[in-house]
Each structure stands twice: as structure tokens, then as C-alpha cells.
Amino acid sequence: MPEASKIHPDQLQDKLAALAQWRLDNAGQSIAREYRFDDFMQAFAFMSEMAIWSEKHDHHPEWFNVYNKVKVTLTTHDAGGLTERDLAWARHADAVFSRSH
């Protein structure tokens, strides 16, 4: 798993360029995205797969599910903002989502 040191603000925009669907919060401390699935079962399958990955990598999201939507916010609390661990989680989640659509 990548290091948990906070990404310098000057590097953040370049690093987020590959994560087009993710939005940086106003304070630059977290990123968020909403995933939409065909139904609840697809949303739950995504969350289940990402829960296993999150536990294995000891990096857990803040997320919220209603029917076919999963809203995710990522930050590394110990580092006080975004780290490579958040970006790795986002990249993996996007790959999992792409496989299901």
C-alpha cells in the first residue's frame, strides 16, 4: 500500500487528472465521487468487493448507499488530508466499477 504522507497541494491537480469523476473538496482535504449502478445488488456487490480490498489495505472509505447509488469520500485522517492511499483506493474502485458496466 502507498505511503500515508499528505500530498502537497502543488502536486494534487496533476495526480487527480487521471481521476476525472472524482471531485476535490473546497479545502483540498478529500475527494468524493458517486457511483450509479443498475440496481441495489450491483451497488452492494461493488461495496462488498471494495470492503474486502479496503480491509486488506487497511484504508477504509466514508461511504453511503441508497438503492443503486454509492457515494464515497476519501481522506487519510492520520495524515490530515489526501495521500497516495486515497488515490490508490479511488483508482481501484474505478477499475471495479468499470468491470461491472
pLDDT in tens, 41-93: 999 999 999 999 999 999 999 999 999 999 999 999 988 899 999 999 999 99
Show the cell assigned to 95. Answer: 477499475
Q: What span, in angstroms and rounded, lies between the C-alpha atoms of 90 and 74? A: 8
pTM of the model: 0.92
What distance lies between CA 52 and its chain's CA centroid? 14
Per the CB < 8 A criterion, the answer to whether 67 and 35 are in contact is no
Predicted confidence at residue 9, as pLDDT, reads: 82
Residue-wise pLDDT for 10-43, tens only, equals 888 888 999 989 999 988 899 999 999 999 999 9
